[in-house]
A and B are shown apart, each in its own frame.
Chain A
Amino acid sequence: MREDICQEPLLVVNNLTLKHRAMAGSTTILRDVSLNLQRGEILGLIGESGAGKSTLGNAILGLLPPGFERTAGAILFDGKALDGMDERQWDAIRGRRISAIFQDHTASLDPLMTVGAQLEETILATNENVSRQDARTRGVELLRRVGIPEPRERYHSYPHQFSGGQRQRVVIAIALAGTPDIIVADEPTSALDATVQKQILRLLRQLVNETQVSVILVTHDMGVISEIADRVVVMKHGEVVEQDVTSAILDTPREEYTRSLLAAVPRLRISASEDRKEAAENSDGRPSRDEMIESDATAPILLAQDITKTFAGQGLRWFRKNARKSALRDVSVRLGRGAITGIVGESGSGKSTIGRIIAGLETAGEGKLEIDGTSFDISLPGRRSGLLGQVQMIFQDPAVSLNPRMSVGETLQESVRFGSRQPGDEKPNVAVMMDRLGLPRSLLTRYPHQLSGGQKQRICIARALLASPQIIVADEPTSALDVSVQAEIVKLLKESVVEQGVSMLFISHDLALVQELCSSIYIFKEGRVEDAGPAEFIFSHSQNPYTRSLIDARPRRFTR
């Protein structure tokens, strides 16, 4: 905390209650919310989906969509009430006094205008007596300040010519153009890879220190809060649960809800650094992959060797459709019987592609694949090579993983009926599986849109297990879920592997999750296996610089 704490706060929210009126009636979105913001501080607003944190951010910006209505309380900025102002009065506030950064850096910028022009128009709109020439000079200076290399040259580029992290830097530059007192940052790093996220947070902290701007940081991520927030407001269902300085919230939370949020965050465990050095000397920095394969005496259930896949030359239309899929180069993966093996990488690393190839959903140009001693020709479509049906998958987004026009019961029965059992094997029982996964049997007659995200993901797990596969590929199964639900799903996956005797490939971008679940780990980068080894080795002894940078990008607070 800073010494100017006793000053008059810059922004005060007093007992604010907001309702949303719709055809179906009115719902309370915010109830009796109070908080204040000091100059030059970063205030974190944290909560799970439906907490009302984004609504509060929008209310402070005067950007609530139609239908919202303030029924009690007030927002005071610099002593003046913000709500009830007309658009003209807002024009004098937005951009000049209060600005914003949104989550989706791609959607935040007009795709048809150069970033320079977008900066310039903001500078001209928010500052008096600025010539176009001055605006341009200032624009270049702002780009330089947010860390865009060669700002003068990049000034005339279009948004799509920047990387995701750079685009978010441009957005920050634009937010700063009117030298505002407050920036409302709504999930500013959630769409970015961990390493880039770290850099953007560092930039925000640096800008706050330099310019004394205040930041309201809306996020669902305790990690982000722990990295840069000075104080934290914990929200749940439109109400403030508790608020305090960050260290107090993290170390001595008073409320049960805060404790449960903190407990749900996966933590990375790293042994003392001396161990790491020692191990490095022993292994002479040799690639750990070989060691691992040699050390595993039993025959693996899955062995993929030197898989290579390119997307070029498959027709323009398909190429565009699959622009987000990544090519693979000489990828080898091995999965022990009854084990959970993790595949970690950032977006575009090819981690999902290898999962889909192993499941038989995609073909590959070269490489060998063996499941339980039987080899499959992965250059053929999965139905023809016989690979399809051997492996089941659990997908990232449960909202689109279930056929919306089939009831839960129909979906699960189909899985039982068409699953890959040997003749004579006992048919698994749907109801028993529902009990085991903690799902009420009454859900069997429901349709997917009537279920919560966590319930849907459990159904997906049940569907995969009911087909009695030997291997399950779980592709980011928790990243579309709230933290508290995430923890339950992880626990469930762990139990299922043990109870059902399946082996699992667990694909994730989250190191801590992988550490919690997996016995061995592959680190993917740009379509290649960058590092691999037993989990213990990777986290504590790996000397691979990319692995180290991934570990360093984790919030320190949740690493121990």
Chain B
Amino acid sequence: MMSTVTGRLSQAFLLLLVMSLIGFVGIHSVGNPVYNIVNIETATAEDIRKATIALGLDQPLWRQYVLFIGNVVTGNFGTSYIYHLPAFRLVMSKLPATLELASIAMLIAAPAGTLLGLLAGRRQGKPADSAILKASVFALSIPSFWLSMMLILLGAIMTGWFPSGGRGPTVSLLGQDWSFLTLDGLRQLTLPALALAIPNIALIARLARSGTIEVESQDFTRFCRAKGLSSRRILFRHTLPNISVPIVTIVGMQFGGMLAFAVVVETIFAWPGVGKLLIDSIQLLDRPVVMATLTFVSVAFVGLNALVDLFYALLDPRVRRSA
């Protein structure tokens, strides 16, 4: 187990280094952020010079990078060019909204997907199976931005059941604002959460289906029947624990994926989360915020993978022992 943890850590470290370099050089090559800060119509050369010095952009690129890395080590990603707030704090302030959205989406997707997958797997080749398979291909084919817009069209504009965007009222808990504690907040959450959940339901269902088919074709399932267990007990005590290993993996990975795909969904639903912040910052060339966001999402993703590894060991005694 130690080797897995150190492996993950070194992976995370490498990831950060590469990301910071790519992001740094990349944003630099795309455009000069100064022009987004000063008023281009009225600014004099002097104004631009002052702003450049204020942002530290007069230094050579390598020195900017060294300074940046030095700051990142102490948790300082710099100050947002636009909001004039520490970039890292900005990301953190947007985090609860995104976490809330992704969690609710996964709470819908994981059980629904597992259930549909089990159903399809147990009825392999029957109409229910092929219907679920077909539906999953459709669900995975819908681009998430269009799905979000169609959900707005159907759920908000045509029926008026749900609000079309924004986060609405929040309730404070543990020093953060949350939507899921009020009925209104839940209504606000429904459409964006569905938009994130639907492709994941399909993905998890497909995985659960193939897992079920594989487990049920294994000798121990046959032996369970031969030794006289009811098919119900085999399903709940043998099949389900055995398919839970790959499902936990995909749930963990997809949760990280949701944090990333929130970029699209949050933009459309005007959900004030990390994803919307990232897109806005890219468009405004707000380098510190872009760097802080990308770094945060990547680290969160690697961290989730590490958690999944740990969970693996809890679920599978073979892994537990070799660790």
Where the two chains meet, the residues of A that have a C-beta atom closer than 8 Å to any C-beta of B are 61, 63, 87, 91, 94-96, 99-100, 102, 104, 107-113, 121-122, 125-126, 158, 160-161, 171, 174-175, 177-178, 184, 316
Contacts and interface: CB of A to CB of B under 8 A. Distances in A.
B120 to A, nearest CB: 16
Nearest to B215: A110
Contacts of B226: 61, 63, 94-95, 99-100, 102, 175, 184
Q: Report which residue of A102, A111, A178 has the largest number of chain B beta carbons within 10 angstroms of its beta carbon.
A: A111
A126 B230 CA distance: 10
Given A95-B229, A104-B219, A125-B229, A110 B317 contact: no
A158 B317 contact: yes
Nearest to A58: B222
A109 B220 contact: yes
Contact of B238 (A102, A110, A126, A175): A110
B63 interface: no
Given A91-B230, A94-B228, A99-B226, A107 B317 contact: no
B220 A108 contact: yes
B3 A316 contact: yes
Contacts of A94: 225-228
Contacts of B75: none
A109 to B, nearest CB: 6
Contact of B223 (A96, A109, A125): A109
Interface residues of B, number: 24
Interface of B: 3, 218-220, 222-231, 233, 237-238, 241-242, 315-318, 321
B223 A171 contact: yes
Contacts of B3: 316
Contacts of A160: 317-318, 321
Contacts of A102: 219, 222-223, 226
A111 B229 contact: no
Contact of B227 (A95, A107, A111, A113): A95
18 contacts: A63-B225, A63-B226, A94-B226, A100-B223, A100-B226, A102-B223, A113-B238, A113-B241, A122-B227, A122-B229, A126-B227, A126-B228, A160-B318, A160-B321, A161-B321, A171-B223, A175-B227, A178-B228
B229 A121 contact: yes
A63 B229 contact: no
A113 B239 CA distance: 12
A184 B222 CA distance: 13
The 3 closest A-B pairs by CB, nearest first: A95-B228, A100-B226, A107-B219
A178 B227 CA distance: 8
B317 A111 contact: yes
Nearest to A61: B226
A110 B242 contact: yes
Contacts of A125: 227-230, 233
Contacts of B225: 61, 63, 94
A184 B229 CA distance: 17
B220 A107 contact: yes
A539 B43 CA distance: 101
A107 B218 CA distance: 7
A99 B228 contact: yes
Contacts of A171: 223
B314 to A, nearest CB: 11
A63 B223 CA distance: 10
A314 to B, nearest CB: 15
Nearest to B224: A110
Contacts of B224: 110
Nearest to A122: B227
Contacts of B219: 102, 104, 107-108
B321 A121 contact: no
Contacts of A108: 219-220, 223
A342 to B, nearest CB: 33
Nearest to A119: B227
A87 B231 contact: yes
A161 to B, nearest CB: 7
Given A87-B231, A102-B223, A316-B3, 9 more contacts: A100-B227, A102-B222, A104-B219, A109-B223, A111-B317, A121-B237, A125-B228, A174-B223, A184-B226
A110 B229 contact: no
Nearest to B322: A320
Contact of B228 (A111, A112, A113, A122): A122
A92 to B, nearest CB: 9
Contacts of B223: 100, 102, 108-109, 171, 174
Nearest to A92: B228
A111 B230 contact: no
Nearest to A88: B230
A296 to B, nearest CB: 46
A50 B283 CA distance: 68
A63 B216 CA distance: 12
B227 A177 contact: yes
A139 to B, nearest CB: 13
Nearest to B220: A110
B228 to A, nearest CB: 2
A112 B218 contact: no
A160 B317 CA distance: 9
B2 to A, nearest CB: 12
A57 to B, nearest CB: 10
Given A91-B230, A174-B227, A111 B316 contact: yes
A422 B237 CA distance: 65
A170 to B, nearest CB: 11
Nearest to A108: B223
Nearest to B226: A100
Contacts of A112: 241-242, 315-317
Nearest to B315: A112
A311 to B, nearest CB: 15
Contacts of B222: 63, 102
Nearest to B244: A112
Contacts of A91: 228, 230
A111 B242 CA distance: 8
A125 B220 CA distance: 16
Contacts of B241: 110, 112-113
B228 A96 contact: yes
A189 B131 CA distance: 43
B51 to A, nearest CB: 52
Contacts of B317: 111-112, 158, 160
A102 B317 CA distance: 23
A61 B238 CA distance: 20
Contact of B318 (A100, A107, A111, A174): A111
Contacts of A109: 220, 223
